[in-house]
């Protein structure tokens, strides 16, 4: 996000910084994308339950954005092809516990999940990324592997057939919702861990450097003392 803010500042102060016209045009295009499309999605990216709906909507928005700036839109869509984790069969059910979807959309996902046969065993390895079009819905992305969440948590399926408004009364629904709400979507923890290790490494390096200087000085001092005593 810091780089995005830098891009916005560069555009705001383009005249003072005396950028050429080509650079100003590129900054304007970039900031149009950042302000209207990227930033709103980034602000809600920490919510696991909303991740499937957010990602699908973002892809559809970028498909529409092709009419405005096809170069940027195509570059973003190509990048998103490697980041469809929350649109896979295994994770799409997270949307049942979010706030982005209407009751009708949630009911469609629930009905599709309930009607889809559970596999004898779930596949291992990297999930399969789906093909997404401008008409794709989250219910379309539900498949046999979508049973993984509820099966792993030991959740009963009865509440899926009930009206969405009654779901919170179900202990099974509440259990699954609590789990999904605690899933970490972004890598803040990993980044903080890397930062801590980097700081630690820097401290150790400084200590070793200081110790090295100290020992060199100590050795020199001792050598000088021995030499002076020998002369006596």
- pLDDT tens digits for range 20-34: 888 888 888 888 888
> Are the C-beta atoms of 175 and 155 separated by less than 8 Å?
yes
Longest dimension (CA), the chain: 100
Q: Tell me which range, 118-127, 189-198, 216-225, is most confidently predicted by mean pLDDT.
A: 118-127
Q: How confident is the model at residue 190 (pLDDT cuts 50, 70, 90)?
A: very low
**Distance (Å, whole) CA 96 – CA 226:** 80
Q: Tens of pLDDT along 134-150?
A: 999 999 999 999 999 99
Q: Tens of pLDDT along 88-122?
A: 999 999 999 998 899 999 999 999 999 999 998 99
Q: Write down the pTM of the prediction.
A: 0.74
The arithmetic mean of pLDDT across residues 200-204, rounded, is 55
Q: Tell me, what DSSP letter sits at residue 69?
A: -
φ, ψ of residue 50 to 5 degrees: the values are -95, -5
To which residue do tokens 């990602």 refer? 55
Q: How confident is the model at residue 1 (pLDDT cuts 50, 70, 90)?
A: low
The residues, ordered by sequence, that sit 6+ positions from 199 with a Cβ below 8 Å of its Cβ are none
CA triple 159-102-152, angle to 5 deg: 40
Give the tokens for residue 79.
């990048």
């Amino acid at each position: 996000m810091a780089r995005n803010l830098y891009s916005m500042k560069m555009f705001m102060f383009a005249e003072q910084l005396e950028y050429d016209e080509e650079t100003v045009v590129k900054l304007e295009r970039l900031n149009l994308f950042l302000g209207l499309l990227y930033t709103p999605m980034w602000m809600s990216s920490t919510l696991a339950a909303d991740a499937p709906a957010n990602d699908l909507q973002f892809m559809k928005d970028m498909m529409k954005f092709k009419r405005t700036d096809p170069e940027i839109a195509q570059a973003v869509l190509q990048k998103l092809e490697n980041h469809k984790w929350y649109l896979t069969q295994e994770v799409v059910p997270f949307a049942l516990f979010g706030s982005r979807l209407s009751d009708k959309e949630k009911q469609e996902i629930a009905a599709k999940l309930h009607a889809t046969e559970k596999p004898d065993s779930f596949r291992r390895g990297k999930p399969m990324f789906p093909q997404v079009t401008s008409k794709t819905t989250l219910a379309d992305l539900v498949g046999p592997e979508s049973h993984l969440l509820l099966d792993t948590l030991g959740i009963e399926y009865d509440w899926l057939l009930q009206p969405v408004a009654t779901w919170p009364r179900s202990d099974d629904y509440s259990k699954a919702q609590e789990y999904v709400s605690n899933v970490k979507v972004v890598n803040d923890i990993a980044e903080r861990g890397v930062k801590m290790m980097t700081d630690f490494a820097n401290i150790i390096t400084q200590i070793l450097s200081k110790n090295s200087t100290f020992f060199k000085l100590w050795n020199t001092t001792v050598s000088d003392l021995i030499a002076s005593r020998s002369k006596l």
